[in-house]
Structure 1
Amino acid sequence: MTEPLLQARGLVHRYRGTTALDGVSLQLRAGERLAVVGGSGSGKSTLARLLLALDTPDAGTVALDGRPVRPGSPRSLRWFRRRVQTVPQDPGRSFNPRMRVGQAVAEPLACLRVPGDHGARVAELLVAVGLEPDAARRWPHEFSGGQRQRLAIARALAPRPDVLVADEPVSALDGVVRLQVVDLLAQLSAAAGLALVVVSHDLGVVQRLCERVLVLDAGRVVEQGPVAQVFTAPASGVTAGLLDAVPALAPAPA
């Protein structure tokens, strides 16, 4: 078995005396798609922020390819940001309205000092997410919510990362558009060997997109394993409760 690409060990994080995470560990291998699920207040978003080195754990470690990762200056984290990117929950708020789409998608390339033809890379990415290259000349407000999320995915992919961390990436979208974006993430992950950490309360999204699931409750891991196994025969009452709250799961693509 290959060594973990991204690894967390014993993460503890407290907010104003309240323990948001209590000893959480996980491993993510290259190309793997891992879901993190749980109820409100379970610690899902806190875990995502620690994995992205946006917050400092009170205890425990995060490492990428065995190299420790902690919050720091943009310069000290440049190596990490090139390899680990994020897809936002609300694509509308993630774009500068005064910046054309091409500039916005190319922004990580400039900030991270990625060499090469940035314009060509932007055109390549726009096509990869199902948009026309001339979209680069337009403004973010000219696109629908689903199109803006495609643009956000393009921007995250710009520096050719190894890992995407997505916190509720389709919760702001509706119906068919949600499934289109989920399927796009699956296709891009498979094509590029990209690993995903998907934080979601939508178990239909998890079933459609992810291979393995980690269930959080009150900041602790209560269950983890292959999605099909955990969803078919949950070992934890927490998982069973989450499944009972879902009227119907979206069928996985054939």
Structure 2
Amino acid sequence: MLAQQRQQIIHEMVQRLGGVRVGDLVREFGVSDMTIRRDLEALAERGLVAKVHGGATTLDQHSTDEPGFAAKLVRQRAEKEAIAARAAALVPSGTAIALSAGTTTCVLAGLLLDVPGLTVVTNSVPVADAFYKARRADQTVVLTGGIRTPSDALVGPFAVNAIRSLNVDILFMGVHGMSTHAGFTTPNLMEAETDRALVAASRRLVVCADHTKWELVGISTIAALHDADTLITDSGLSVAARDQLGTEVGELVIAD
């Protein structure tokens, strides 16, 4: 296959899936890692994809743009792992927690598989799948129903009604963006409603958001900054942003 043909197919995959990983493309096309990276660089130079660590994603530009789960999973992977590790330390055994949809919460789910006696409420298909595959008899997973979004969240009235009947100790929530004027936001109106129901059902709100979410604003607000009991972000966050967030959220945690 010629490089131009391969790049065309890769571009179509990014548009369809929202993002691709280098390793997956290597296996798909049977070429070297370096060849795929050159392909992604060529596409990025033409303004067709956004090249990120480990792969490429679509270009987001608007408040309603919603990248797919695969696209977001390859972005800021190291930061998400650091944030998830700090979040996991907040979960004692035998508690009821909620995990909203998102790639950071999905990484967190993988770190909670060995915590005994957990009850986990989630509207995330990948999060529920991670716990189901662990097959722990002492853990209970409640997956809400609803309409599936590009970020693999289950949203809508069925999800909201299910969540309203529950009470959990801690909600770990991922967000699309955060700013002083808009608070914590999402590009999906129905997902915002479902996330607001999760916030209302929780005694404590822990937001997990890497530094790239700062000053990014989605169309719908989930909660104000001061609603977060804890915000866990990473050391890439600017000093100015830390100062602003430190006066708004209950506790600001910086993961190295």
What is the TM-score of this pair, normalised by structure 1?
0.31
Q: Which has the higher contact order (CA 8 A, sep 6+)?
A: 1
What is the TM-score of this pair, normalised by structure 2?
0.31
